[in-house]
Structure 1
Amino acid sequence: MLGLGATLAILAACSSGTNTPSSGTTQPTGQASTTSVPSTTALSVVDKAKQDALASYRGMWQDFVAAGTTSDWQSPKLGRYATGIALTNMSRALYADHYNGLVTKGEPTYEPSVSSVEPPDNPNKIVITDCSDDSRWLKYKADTGQLANDTPGGRHLINAIVQKQADGSWKVSEYGVHEAGTC
């Protein structure tokens, strides 16, 4: 699995030899506190949003790749991480493959990263930029198993919008895949 690309903000409680332990009481200088302050690691709101958006982006493509093996345009999994135009485009592409007797085999690679967050302090919209390689994710004729692609694929620039939903989840609402060789 690829790294999330999100930076972790580490909040550590430090002991600097001051006389103020975590309980809020003052210890005389030179005496050890009986209350220890544990180190804490937490994600900031922005970093958590970035992490969740990237996970949803990857999840959407994983579900699309899985549905492509049978061209299942009605797969209920397609809506787990996609909504709106993104969901419609995936369903239509899979329906077209089904109608044309095609299935997709293999798996593309991804290199997603967050290119912007809106608003910057508490995001509800994240734009992801990716460079996906589909040269090992090809279309085949379902009835004969013969390769149906005329071209071997390549590296495609993908731009996606991931939005926070009313239930707190993140879903891809739009994406655009550019032609091979764009990244």
Structure 2
Amino acid sequence: MMTTRTRRTAALYGAVPLALLLTGCGGGDDAAKPSGAPPAASATPAPATSAADPQAADKTEVLASYTSMWGEQMQAYRKADAKGTDLKKYAALNALSKFEADLAHMKKNSTVIRGDLGHSPKVTALDTAGKLPKATVQDCVDLAKWETLDTKTGKPIPLPTSQPLRYVATATAEKWPGGWMITDYAPDGARTC
């Protein structure tokens, strides 16, 4: 059973999967995608904005990087290992550290992810005027098909009853020389969507 302290600790890490792994959730049987396959995403980003928006191209690129990051992250979570994925191509700094901590936690606890994580991301802020362009992505994360499997027993770990199935998460992106990178990720289980 998860204590209040454990929930707070998981929230501080800021990664949805870590919070779910600490609290537990159910399991399916999806295989990891081959590393050469395009990243899978359970939701395709909607067009960022109208063609009249001068920031439309940047918003589309930010959403593409965010969606690709999740595709690579799900590949890593399906095997509790980032080897063979392009996660570092899309996530860096705090976001990457949080996801790597999730993977270490998963290995230690013999868990892997099955199913998919639903998304409805949108760019809520974009500043391209500064030396380092930045963006904020707000996402409605959907856990309806998200499952964790205990690899020792082969049994799913159910979500706690207090875990909302849909909630808001916020990501920060920065435009680096190679493209947009997700540099931070923070779920907010108190804000449902």
Which residue identity lines up with residue 79 of structure 1 in the other structure?
A: K
Kept in 1, the 8 Å contact 2:113–2:147? The answer is yes
| 1:54 paired residue number | 63
CA distance in 1, matches of 2:98, 2:128: 27
SS of residue in 1 equivalent to 2:64: helix
| Alpha-carbon shift at residue 171 of structure 1 (Å) | 0.8
Residues 108-127 of structure 1 correspond to what in structure 2 (within 5 A)? 108-119=117-128, 124-127=133-136
What runs of 5+ residues in structure 1 fail to find an aligned partner? 11-42
| 2:167 paired residue number | 156
CA distance in 2, matches of 1:80, 1:4: 22
| Alpha-carbon shift at residue 48 of structure 1 (Å) | 1.0
Which residue identity lines up with residue 82 of structure 1 in the other structure?
A: A
1:121–1:50 Cα change, 3 Å: farther
1:97–1:147 Cα change, 3 Å: same
Whether 1:5 aligns to 2:47 is yes
CA distance in 2, matches of 1:130, 1:67: 20
1:50–1:121 Cα change, 3 Å: farther
Residues 169-180 of structure 1 correspond to what in structure 2 (within 5 A)? 169-179=179-189
User: TM-score under structure 2 normalisation?
Assistant: 0.69
1:181–1:144 Cα change, 3 Å: farther
Greater percentage in helix: 2
CA distance in 1, matches of 2:160, 2:84: 27
SS of residue in 2 equivalent to 1:111: coil
Question: What is the aligned-residue RMSD (CA, Å)?
Answer: 2.3
Q: From the CA coordinates, give the structure whose radius of gyration is larger.
A: 1
SS of residue in 2 equivalent to 1:110: coil
SS of residue in 2 equivalent to 1:80: helix
Which residue identity lines up with residue 173 of structure 2 in the other structure?
A: V
Kept in 2, the 8 Å contact 1:49–1:123? The answer is no
Count residues with an aligned counterpart: 149
1:78-122: per-residue Cα shift (whole Å, max 9, x none)?
A: 101101000110011111011100011000110001111114699
Kept in 2, the 8 Å contact 1:155–1:180? The answer is no
| Alpha-carbon shift at residue 151 of structure 1 (Å) | 2.4
Any runs of at least 4 consecutive aligned residues in structure 1 with deviations exceeding 3 A, and if so which?
Answer: 73-76, 119-123
What runs of 5+ residues in structure 2 fail to find an aligned partner? 1-42
SS of residue in 1 equivalent to 2:125: strand
CA distance in 1, matches of 2:191, 2:123: 21
